């Protein structure tokens, strides 16, 4: 649930409204960014019947005349918003370094300058990673390799196991160290194991060989084959993405001695010590049946193969900061071949991402000061309160849940923490040293700073003021262990949040996003955490069984969605997001109706309020992606592709049928008894 260990719940479009109808707003606003009331009407394809393909009905015109930019793997509303935030951050980073960008202004400018010095990276070649490679060459045995893997949290090495420090799911007031499966260089285990990715796996082996050659490793072709063979075994032993979503199964606390006994063949003592966790008395193991297998694979793999694996991963991790041979090889494989991107992003864009990644809150501090209007925070606050009230009413109304469980659900909702736009307390970067003349050093320093910051707070109370995303991120999340919903400033922007737009458009946009994040607290994963953030079962057996049955029914719908022959959405992998999408739209629609206070919604351009709400919802998911990117998304993402986030959702909503007069025979039509009703 935390954003680091598990896929962050989230994303999408946003904006909202009755809060927007407040005094003072109209006076300062002229016209919405999209259309006359918030919808880009020419972007529709009215030749399509809404009941046959609602996504295309709303977005088909846009899709027909929009080309995905060569440096992107997709395009759409969230890309437009991210581009805007990226431009804003560029302006900050390229401004006069003496300008007042907060106490860390000089550091963010220095890091950006370091990244922009392409000539220096070119001149240095592979030299900056020589110390890392020398350490691998010097390893005498597997214990030395385990110790090197343990430095992955503070540098450029990779590890067969990942360590994380996050609030303890069974005691959310303190932190715990988590240990999970790792070791793969491709986006998901499916890339090693399923026929649809066979060619990409082959290309991966060539990429491994290419980087080993650049790193000066002996016999790169044979070594690359051994590395990919090793990772294939790791993939076979690894849990699927769907299995990893179950918080009950991924919570397995044990002492380091118990871990060493359960997963022999790997020097856990050396690894934990190198991670800075040598003194830990307890770790929480996540994929508990996979770790023993991975340790056994490690023990059975020849030392030269483990070394070649480590060398490749150092080169791969460092490639974005090295000369054009490394950087170009990485682009050709990771972005062009895997995602279909045609050209690399301009260096400044990568520089913005680099500084955002390493000093995100220092950048964010300058970003919100310049680009986030303080009055918007109050509007979103009010909107969240409306959505919360609507969800509370829906919980009361659902007919499948007992009064006993409902009381606990209400209590959990009342305990939600809401974070909007930016943190109250900014991160302190005083301990971080960056240099405009040492890009790879800065990359290492970013990682070490973050890991050491987390290590330092380990034994203290959980800092509930902390944020898991930066303000300039176009995204949002729910964190079950903190029981909080978080909306960074950059997602509270047009077209999704547009104070000048019709309220229906804002409820269908940001309203549905806020509802989505709230519903995560009650999806198949979030429902397992109580109001205090503790992983604890507060459901009656009967209510839990009814919830699971409804979730399975929804999964079965999504399992049928197929963007390409032989490729299907994985219902069990995406179930939390699908439940959140469905809950989000329903909560937002209720909130919209509540905001009308019994008065009929105005008709605008011949459209009813409900019609405008659904049109705006579908517009907020406007998106197109390259085929390779969709294939990666299906296996590697807990979200369904945007097409199904619209069509898969509205067909379960009674009000959508009424709004567009959708009747039996329409492609999206579901009989009322087949519609899934959860929240
Ligand atoms: Zn989500």
User: 495 CA distance to ligand 1 centroid (A)?
Assistant: 19
Extract the tokens encoding 521.
Answer: 């607290």
What gap in Å lies between CA 111 and CA 43, rounded to an integer?
40
Contacting residues for 218 by C-beta, under 8 A, at least 6 apart: none
User: 459 CA distance to ligand 1 centroid (A)?
Assistant: 30
For the chain, state the CA radius of gyration.
25
User: 230 CA distance to ligand 1 centroid (A)?
Assistant: 34
| Whole-structure pTM value | 0.94
Contacting residues for 519 by C-beta, under 8 A, at least 6 apart: 391, 526, 579, 580, 582, 583, 584, 587, 679
* pLDDT cut 90: percent of the chain above it: 91
Q: Quick one: pLDDT at residue 200?
A: 98
Q: Which residues pair with 168 in a beta bridge?
A: 171
> Is residue 426 classed as helix, strand or coil in its secondary structure?
coil
User: 116 CA distance to ligand 1 centroid (A)?
Assistant: 34
User: 239 CA distance to ligand 1 centroid (A)?
Assistant: 21
Lowest mean pLDDT among 366-380, 592-606, 665-679: 366-380
Q: Quick one: pLDDT at residue 14?
A: 28
Extract the tokens encoding 99.
Answer: 């300008």
Q: Quick one: pLDDT at residue 22?
A: 31
Q: How confident is the model at residue 30 (pLDDT cuts 50, 70, 90)?
A: low
Extract the tokens encoding 374.
Answer: 């303080």
Q: Quick one: pLDDT at residue 376?
A: 86
> Is residue 535 classed as helix, strand or coil in its secondary structure?
strand
Q: How confident is the model at residue 16 (pLDDT cuts 50, 70, 90)?
A: very low
User: 9 CA distance to ligand 1 centroid (A)?
Assistant: 3
Q: How confident is the model at residue 599 (pLDDT cuts 50, 70, 90)?
A: very high
What gap in Å lies between CA 605 and CA 611, rounded to an integer?
11
How far CA 327 is from CA of 86, 316, 336, 393, 628, in Å, comes to: 21, 9, 12, 53, 21
In this predicted structure, the answer to whether residue 29 has a pLDDT above a threshold of 60 is no
> How many C-beta neighbours within 10 Å does residue 479 have?
28
> Is residue 347 classed as helix, strand or coil in its secondary structure?
helix
Q: Indicate the length of the chain as a whole number.
A: 679
Written in H, E and C, the secondary structure of 86-144 is: HHHHHHHHHCCCCCCCCCCHHHHHHHHHHHHCHHHHHHHCCHHHHHHHHHHHCCCCHHH
User: 577 CA distance to ligand 1 centroid (A)?
Assistant: 5
User: 597 CA distance to ligand 1 centroid (A)?
Assistant: 30
User: 575 CA distance to ligand 1 centroid (A)?
Assistant: 10
User: 21 CA distance to ligand 1 centroid (A)?
Assistant: 27
Per residue in 257-292, pLDDT tens? Answer: 999 999 999 999 999 999 999 999 999 999 999 999
Q: 55 and 645 in contact (C-beta within 8 Å)?
A: no
User: 249 CA distance to ligand 1 centroid (A)?
Assistant: 21
Contacting residues for 153 by C-beta, under 8 A, at least 6 apart: 163, 275, 276, 447, 451
In this predicted structure, the answer to whether residue 6 has a pLDDT above a threshold of 80 is no
Residue 347: exposure state from Cβ atoms within 10 A (0-12, 13-18, ≥19): middle
Q: Average pLDDT, whole number, for the chain?
A: 94
Q: Quick one: pLDDT at residue 101?
A: 78
Per residue in 428-452, pLDDT tens? Answer: 999 999 999 999 999 999 999 999 9
What gap in Å lies between CA 341 and CA 332, rounded to an integer?
9
User: 467 CA distance to ligand 1 centroid (A)?
Assistant: 17
> Is residue 45 classed as helix, strand or coil in its secondary structure?
coil
User: 98 CA distance to ligand 1 centroid (A)?
Assistant: 40
User: 90 CA distance to ligand 1 centroid (A)?
Assistant: 28
What gap in Å lies between CA 100 and CA 103, rounded to an integer?
8
Q: 382 and 22 in contact (C-beta within 8 Å)?
A: yes
User: 551 CA distance to ligand 1 centroid (A)?
Assistant: 15
Q: 394 and 590 in contact (C-beta within 8 Å)?
A: yes
User: 455 CA distance to ligand 1 centroid (A)?
Assistant: 28
* CA angle, residues 516, 59, 473, in degrees to nearest 5: 45
Please give the residue that has the higher pLDDT: either 32 or 558: 558
Mean local confidence (pLDDT), 324-334:
98
Extract the tokens encoding 520.
Answer: 């995560």
User: 4 CA distance to ligand 1 centroid (A)?
Assistant: 14
User: 293 CA distance to ligand 1 centroid (A)?
Assistant: 32
In this predicted structure, the answer to whether residue 10 has a pLDDT above a threshold of 70 is no
The residue assigned the tokens 């790997």 is 266
* pLDDT cut 70: percent of the chain above it: 96
In this predicted structure, the answer to whether residue 590 has a pLDDT above a threshold of 70 is yes
User: 535 CA distance to ligand 1 centroid (A)?
Assistant: 19
User: The dihedral of CA 620, 626, 630, 633: what is its sign?
Assistant: negative
In this predicted structure, the answer to whether residue 28 has a pLDDT above a threshold of 70 is no
Q: What are phi and psi of 421, to 5 degrees?
A: 75, -60
Count of alpha carbons within 13 angstroms of residue 523, beta-carbon side: 33
Per residue in 200-250, pLDDT tens? Answer: 999 999 999 999 999 999 999 999 999 999 999 999 999 999 999 999 999
What gap in Å lies between CA 268 and CA 403, rounded to an integer?
48
In this predicted structure, the answer to whether residue 24 has a pLDDT above a threshold of 70 is no
Question: Which residues crowd ion ligand 1, with CB under 5 Å?
Answer: 9-10, 577, 580
Per residue in 139-167, pLDDT tens? Answer: 999 999 999 999 999 999 999 999 999 99
In terms of Cα–Cα distance, which of 660, 656, 504 is closest to 36?
Answer: 504
Start-to-end C-alpha separation, the chain? 20
* CA angle, residues 169, 172, 177, in degrees to nearest 5: 60
Residue 480: exposure state from Cβ atoms within 10 A (0-12, 13-18, ≥19): buried
Per residue in 648-673, pLDDT tens? Answer: 999 999 999 999 999 999 999 999 99
């Amino acid at each position: 649930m935390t954003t680091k260990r598990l896929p962050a719940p989230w994303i999408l479009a946003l904006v909202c409204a009755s809060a927007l109808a407040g005094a003072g707003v109209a006076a300062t606003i002229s016209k919405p960014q999209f259309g006359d009331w918030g919808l880009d009407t020419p972007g529709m394809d009215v030749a399509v019947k809404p009941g046959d393909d609602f996504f295309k009905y709303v977005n088909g015109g846009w899709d027909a005349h929009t080309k995905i930019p060569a440096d992107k793997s997709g395009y759409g509303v969230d890309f437009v918003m991210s581009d805007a935030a990226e431009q804003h951050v560029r302006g900050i980073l390229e401004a006069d370094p003496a300008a007042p960008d907060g106490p860390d202004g000089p550091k963010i400018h220095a890091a950006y300058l370091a990244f922009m010095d392409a000539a220096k990276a070119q001149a240095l070649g592979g030299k900056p990673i020589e110390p890392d490679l020398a350490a691998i060459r010097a390893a005498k045995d597997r214990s030395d390799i385990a110790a090197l893997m343990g430095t992955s949290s503070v540098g450029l090495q990779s590890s067969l196991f990942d360590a994380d420090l996050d609030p303890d799911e069974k005691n959310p007031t303190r932190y715990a160290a988590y240990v999970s499966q790792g070791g793969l260089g491709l986006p998901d285990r499916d890339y090693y194991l399923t026929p649809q990715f066979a060619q990409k796996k082959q290309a991966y082996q060539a990429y491994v060989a290419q980087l080993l050659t650049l790193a000066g490793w002996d016999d790169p072709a044979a070594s690359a084959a051994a590395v990919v063979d090793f990772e294939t075994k790791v993939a076979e032993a690894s849990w699927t993405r769907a299995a990893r979503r179950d918080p009950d199964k991924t919570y397995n606390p044990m002492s380091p001695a118990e871990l060493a006994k359960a997963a022999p063949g790997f020097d856990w003592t050396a690894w934990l010590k190198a991670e800075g966790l040598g003194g830990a008395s307890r770790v929480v193991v996540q994929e508990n049946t996979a770790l023993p297998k991975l340790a056994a694979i490690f023990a059975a793999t020849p030392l030269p193969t483990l070394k070649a694996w480590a060398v490749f991963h150092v080169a791969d991790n460092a490639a974005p900061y090295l000369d054009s041979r490394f950087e170009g090889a990485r682009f050709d494989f990771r972005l062009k071949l895997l995602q279909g991107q045609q050209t690399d992003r301009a260096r400044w864009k990568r520089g913005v991402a680099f500084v955002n990644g390493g000093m995100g809150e220092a950048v964010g501090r300058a970003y919100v000061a310049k680009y986030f209007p303080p009055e918007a925070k109050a509007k979103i606050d009010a909107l969240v309160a409306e959505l919360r009230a609507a969800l509370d009413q829906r919980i009361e109304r659902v007919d499948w849940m007992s009064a006993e469980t409902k009381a606990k659900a209400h209590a959990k909702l009342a305990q939600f923490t809401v974070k909007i736009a930016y943190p109250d307390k900014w991160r302190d970067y005083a301990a971080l040293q960056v240099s405009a003349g040492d890009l790879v050093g800065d990359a290492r320093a970013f990682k070490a700073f973050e890991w050491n910051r987390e290590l330092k707070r380990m034994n203290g109370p959980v800092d509930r003021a902390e944020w898991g995303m930066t303000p300039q991120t176009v995204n949002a999340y729910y964190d079950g262990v903190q029981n909080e919903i978080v909306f960074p400033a950059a997602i509270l922007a047009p077209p999704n949040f547009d104070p000048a737009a019709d309220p229906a458009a804002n409820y269908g946009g940001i309203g549905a996003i806020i509802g989505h994040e709230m519903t995560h607290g009650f999806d198949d994963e979030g429902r397992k955490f109580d109001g205090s953030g503790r992983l604890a079962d507060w459901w009656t057996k009967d209510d839990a069984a009814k919830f699971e049955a409804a979730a399975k029914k929804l999964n079965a719908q999504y399992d049928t969605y197929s963007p390409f022959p032989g490729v299907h959405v994985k219902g069990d992998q995406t179930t939390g997001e699908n439940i959140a999408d469905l809950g989000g739209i329903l909560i937002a629609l209720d909130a919209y109706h509540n905001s009308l206070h019994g008065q009929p919604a105005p008709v605008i351009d011949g459209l009813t309020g409900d019609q405008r709400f659904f049109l705006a919802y579908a517009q907020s998911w406007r998106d197109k992606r390259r085929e390779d990117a969709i294939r990666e998304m299906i296996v590697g993402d807990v979200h369904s592709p945007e097409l199904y986030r619209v069509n898969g959702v509205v067909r379960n909503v009674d009000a959508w049928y009424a709004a567009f007069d959708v009747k039996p025979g329409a492609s999206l039509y579901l009989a009322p008894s087949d519609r899934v009703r959860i929240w």
